[in-house]
Amino acid sequence: NAGVTQTPKFQVLKTGQSMTLQCAQDMNHEYMSWYRQDPGMGLRLIHYSVGAGITDQGEVPNGYNVSRSTTEDFPLRLLSAAPSQTSVYFCASSHRLNYGYTFGSGTRLTVV
């Protein structure tokens, strides 16, 4: 099993560009989440999903969209990149109940 796979690992964007961060898991987990981590800070929840077709906002959703068309995939879209979105983005998934999250290795995004 590959676990949680995030692509790309690194990305540089210009202000105003859009892009999609990919996240895929092969563990048949119902729950998936996106977090961002700014330098020296903890993780902040962007969006999460409790199953295919169901998504909800976390603590810092502005500027990001998500969709969950399949159980396996949970892409995060940046609509119009801003320097304030420079961060490391982590995707995580877990079984529906009584399991900890499995995290991906992260996407390091720089917006210039």
Partner 1 sequence: DAKTTQPPSMDCAEGRAANLPCNHSTISGNEYVYWYRQIHSQGPQYIIHGLKNNETNEMASLIITEDRKSSTLILPHATLRDTAVYYCIVRSHSNAGKSTFGDGTTLTVKP
Residues that bind partner 1 (CB under 8 A): 4, 31, 33, 35, 41-45, 48-50, 56, 58-59, 88, 90, 92, 94, 96-98, 100-106
Is residue 65 within 8 Å of 19, Cβ to Cβ?
A: no
Give the nearest distance from C-beta 16 to partner 1 in angstroms. Answer: 27
Is residue 22 within 8 Å of 70, Cβ to Cβ?
A: no
Q: Which is nearer to partner 1, 73 or 103 (CB)?
A: 103
Give the nearest distance from C-beta 105 to partner 1 in angstroms. Answer: 5
Q: How far apart are CA 19 and CA 81, in angstroms?
A: 8
Q: Which is nearer to partner 1, 17 or 65 (CB)?
A: 65
Q: How far apart are CA 4 and CA 87, in angstroms?
A: 19
| Alpha-helix runs per DSSP H in 53-108 | none
| Alpha-helix runs per DSSP H in the chain | none
Give the nearest distance from C-beta 29 to partner 1 in angstroms. Answer: 11
Give the nearest distance from C-beta 13 to partner 1 in angstroms. Answer: 19
Q: Which is nearer to partner 1, 1 or 98 (CB)?
A: 98
Q: How far apart are CA 61 and CA 44, in angstroms?
A: 10
